Amino acid sequence: MTAVKKICGVLLVSLLAVTEAAGAGNASPIVALGFEASTQTLIKVDTDALYRSDDEGRKWVRTPLPPSAKGHTLTVAVSGKGGALYLAGPGVGVLRSEDGGLSWLARNEGLPEGTVVALSVHADQPDTVYAVLSRQGIFRSEDGGASWRLMDKGPRKSIVQFVHSNMPGSMQTGWFFAATTKGVSRAMDCFCGWRDAGGLSGKVSAVSYDPSQPQHVYAASSEGLFLSVNGGEQWTKTLSPPAAIAALIVTPSGTLYAAAGDGKLYRSADRAKTWE
Amino acid sequence: MRSTILGAVIAIFGLAAAHASDKPLTALDPGQIKAGRMVYEKHCAVCHGVRAEGATSWQQPDAQGELPAPPHDPEGHTWKHSDAMLYRIVMQGWRDPFNKTTRLTMPAFAGILSPQEVRAVIGYLKTLWRSEQQRFQREESRNQSFP
């Protein structure tokens, strides 16, 4: 990672930004989704590029990922209120962009060598970011990634993806919902211990929550798509898109997007009752 | 007379504890720590354990969906929380939203303990932690100190 830090320490300017239609799908699978609330911009990332759409996914502006991240990106996080983008993956560390992905800066001070498998921005604090390292645990930055601190080992099961939520009831400011190799795990953001969230037992590939109704949480596994309306206590199977789901995001207006492994993006405006 | 002395000790400790996040714990007076320990033994130990070891199986919800009282020793997570948060939780209590009951999971001590006593007992808890945990908690409290 040291070499990557040096490479990424300088500004990485992308060369191309291309507009393309939505229906074509990606050449490579989508690995992450995000939503920038301040600009109402939907973001998707595949292994080669980051795509932005300000019309609910009808048209996309493609921006190539920095060379160090191509083929290595696992996760992206969007500071919904501040507009910063974070990108991470094996050998990539954490990268931050303040211009929509045109340029990236390494943000690894305090992060050990290792693989960042998941990222999430605090639901209400734009400069607070969380990174999961596969072996070390969960790190927190309160200064937009400038410095990091180990906070917790995380749940016993491996985290695949996770999200910070402002669901009420936390001792501190919110909750984490983690998609793990065995169900969904939940913890308050004071890191007061992880608990199983409901009875999902298989590997969960994606988890997200509805910002307008934070108790509403979605989880995707090989068994389908599930919705919990009580913060992960019980799950109900819903209609799933016709492909395995790699990433989920819910916009503040409640629209649910699901990225499928085949590169297609599905949209539901009615809590997964129908998909388009 | 004894309660008067205790009250004075707690009051002095309260002033000192207000700035505890800026000072090493060794700067605290043993008498102040003792006052906090007395508060702990009287009000907290019944749930959190005499040695602050917590309830058995504290990490697993019980039949009512409640999390048993956690330890305050190095094995727990109390050391991860700022002075402001610990003070708020002791004063106001907290209800686990996933309880099957309506009662508070952690009872509120406002009206039972004075602000000075709450600061004192938190000061006592800090003596139970490892030095790196104390350092971590001081840093967490830097911008979130006692009210």
**Encoded tokens for B61:** 């919800």
User: Residue B7 above 60 pLDDT?
Assistant: no
The more confidently predicted of residues A28 and A163 is A163
Give me the residue from B59, B61, B94 closest to A171, CB to CB. Answer: B94
Which of these, A118, A120, A137, A129, lies nearest to A209 by C-alpha position?
Answer: A120
- Cβ A122 vs Cβ A176: under 8 Å: no
User: Residue A195 above 70 pLDDT?
Assistant: yes
Mean model confidence pLDDT for chain A:
88
Identify the residue among A190, A217, A229 best suited for mutation to test binding to B, counting B beta carbons within 10 A and taking the highest. A190
CA distances from A206 to A14, A138, A178 (A): 28, 18, 8
* Per-residue pLDDT band at A120 (split at 50, 70, 90): very high
Residues of chain A above pLDDT 70, percent? 89
Return the DSSP state at B113.
Answer: B
What count of other Cβ atoms lies within 10 Å of the Cβ of residue A11? 10
The ipTM (two decimal places) reads 0.79
Outline where chain A has alpha helix (H): 2-9
Q: Do B98 and A190 touch (CB under 8 A)?
A: no
pLDDT given at position B18? 38
pTM, rounded to two decimals:
0.85
Domain B2-141 has CATH 3.20.20.190: no
Mean pLDDT lowest for which of A48-57, A183-192, B96-105, B115-124?
A: B96-105
> What is the rounded CA–CA span in Å between residue A98 and residue A85?
6
Calculate Rg over the CA atoms of chain A. Answer: 17
User: In CATH, what number does A154-276 get?
Assistant: 2.130.10.10
**What angle (nearest 5°) sits at the alpha carbon of residue A34, between those of residues A30 and A39?**
135
User: Residue B28 above 70 pLDDT?
Assistant: no
**Encoded tokens for B79:** 């050391």
pLDDT given at position A79? 80
Q: Do B89 and A171 touch (CB under 8 A)?
A: yes
For chain B, which residues make up each domain, given as ranges?
Answer: 2-141
pLDDT given at position B11? 40
A-chain residues within 8 Å CB-CB of B80?
151-152, 190-192
pLDDT given at position A170? 95
**Encoded tokens for A276:** 């388009």
> What is the rounded CA–CA span in Å between residue A35 and residue A260?
17
CA distances from A119 to A146, A236, B73 (A): 15, 26, 30
pLDDT given at position B99? 87
Query: Residue B139 belongs to what H/E stretch?
Result: helix B131-141
